[in-house]
Copies of this chain bind each other. A is one copy, B any other.
């Protein structure tokens, strides 16, 4: 079901070429390139977190091969907001060319700079705000306020002689946001009047009917839970969710509780947010973690990371009694967060562990302690109607999300032929209001694993999956280089296969016999001898253990 790969024609003068590099067919590693007149603008450069079929992988980066040889043509990277799936790959891009200008809002830049500092990179940054219009190479950029689950998110309107493109980044349309900064529908209306030639909207919640409830609905719930808790309160959420933390601080203040931040990223991000004025800390509410233990139980709130059941994060360690704070009866733990698919078992293990310790656990399934950061179908319809874009390229989502978003566009009257369901590497050319699919690049996954970037391949991951499911059996034999006869061995090393290595004693004579026979038949080739070993042990393991571990034969000539 793979789409045919074909290179586009060279880019014609006066045409804008739009290529989603990451974020289509997946939720993460968002990145899109815009090319005009020989210059390239990048919008977002994020990471994707691995799934269970990508074991051991730390991060997945967008495959930047289409621009790798042309980094000198890149005039800038616009970052729409400060989430990892939009900024996380910037350090890897800047390792290749450090002085690519980074363009974004105050908070977005601050979070990106903190990340770059850890990678010892010093970026060239340009801060922008909503309403601002700047020129970057041949691109005329206008920034528009949008509301999301992190403050200071921006959509970007990209004007070139080829037309007007609106790239939303992640957004929703909360009409009562905590900071009063709504998605700027007046600006959308103005762009609509001017004529939007191509619209790239967030698709994450396009298959969710209706409207995302307001973030403001959560505050009273958290406040009431705090009020009813006789002991300590622990709230876990995403470490960049400034408004969620804001509501926890406000609820704590209203309840006469103080708040200690827990978790490296939580402390770092909230310090940045408070310094820049995005987080409004009520007087005296924040307290250092080390001093929190001296405060009575009913006067403290711990704001922590680990809402996705990450094994090393604060919340998991609390549930396993591996953290200084040991939950007990009377305490309440609030998971004020979404449950990202794939994390269910880990999160439920944490909830069960906390429950077993006697804590009351409040989470999405039993109270309104989370709302999404993405526009649901009803909100997207508003946008299509106010923008009336000529062409739509839904981005940011799995295939079903992109399809649902295209369907919404069509429901508002945009012709089906003008809604493009793309994938990573789909090349879309825009000219005179017409958007055409001009090519399909072959893009892959770039795995970060330990210190390596791109060294681990899908073949390695397949090996890991086999090893993880079935273990391995290694057979080592030392043979005489002249005669081919066994000098030592066969020695068998197995891991993850059977508890008792003695089980393999039965097959050793069979391997020895097979090698003996090969030697008598004049086989000396190491590869052929290895294959003999592999066949003999593989067949025996399959038949007698009904297992298919990885077989690693090692024939050493001495």
Contact = CB atoms under 8 A, between A and B. Distances in A.
Interface in A65-82: none
Interface in A327-380: 341-342, 344-345, 348, 351-353, 355-357, 361, 365-366
Contacts of A497: 460
Interface stretch (A98-106, A428-436, A450-458): A450-458
Contacts of A465: 468
Contacts of A467: 464, 467-468, 471-472, 495-496
Interface string A436-476: 00000000000001111001110111011101111110101
B546 A451 contact: yes
Interface stretch (A152-160, A164-172, A210-218, A483-491): A483-491
B1 A353 contact: yes
Contacts of A355: 399-400, 403
A452 B503 CA distance: 12
A282 interface: no
Contacts of A493: 474, 552, 554
A558 B481 CA distance: 14
A516 interface: no
A324 interface: no
A188 to B, nearest CB: 28
Interface in A510-558: 544-547, 550, 552, 554, 556-558
Interface stretch (A49-57, A128-136, A292-300): A49-57
A229 B455 CA distance: 47
A478 B489 CA distance: 11
Contact of A474 (B320, B452, B470, B474): B474
Nearest to A208: B365
Copies of the protein in its oligomer: 2
Given A450-B546, A463-B496, A493-B554, A469 B468 contact: yes
B545 A452 contact: yes
Nearest to A465: B468
A476 B556 contact: yes
Contact of A487 (B56, B356, B558): B558
Contact of A344 (B341, B452, B463, B476): B341
Contacts of A417: none
Nearest to A477: B556
A488 B554 contact: no
A398 interface: yes
A321 interface: yes
A550 B495 contact: yes
A118 interface: no
A266 B474 CA distance: 40
Interface string A386-402: 00000000000011100
A398 B452 contact: no
B464 A469 contact: yes
B491 A556 contact: yes
Nearest to A398: B352
Interface in A91-125: none
Nearest to A557: B488
Contact of A476 (B51, B471, B499, B554): B554
Interface residues of A, number: 70
Interface string A161-192: 00000000000000000000000000000000
A450 B495 contact: no
Contact of A478 (B321, B459, B470, B488): B488
A421 to B, nearest CB: 9
A221 to B, nearest CB: 16
A322 to B, nearest CB: 10
Nearest to A361: B400
A545 B499 CA distance: 30
Contacts of A140: none
Contacts of A552: 474, 493, 495
A268 to B, nearest CB: 22
A37 interface: no
B460 A1 contact: no
Nearest to A51: B345
Given A321-B1, A469-B468, A459 B400 contact: no
A10 to B, nearest CB: 30
A137 to B, nearest CB: 36
B499 A455 contact: yes
24 contacts: A1-B320, A1-B353, A1-B357, A25-B352, A55-B469, A56-B496, A342-B344, A348-B400, A352-B398, A449-B547, A450-B545, A450-B547, A451-B544, A456-B499, A457-B499, A460-B499, A463-B496, A464-B467, A464-B470, A467-B467, A468-B469, A476-B476, A478-B488, A558-B558
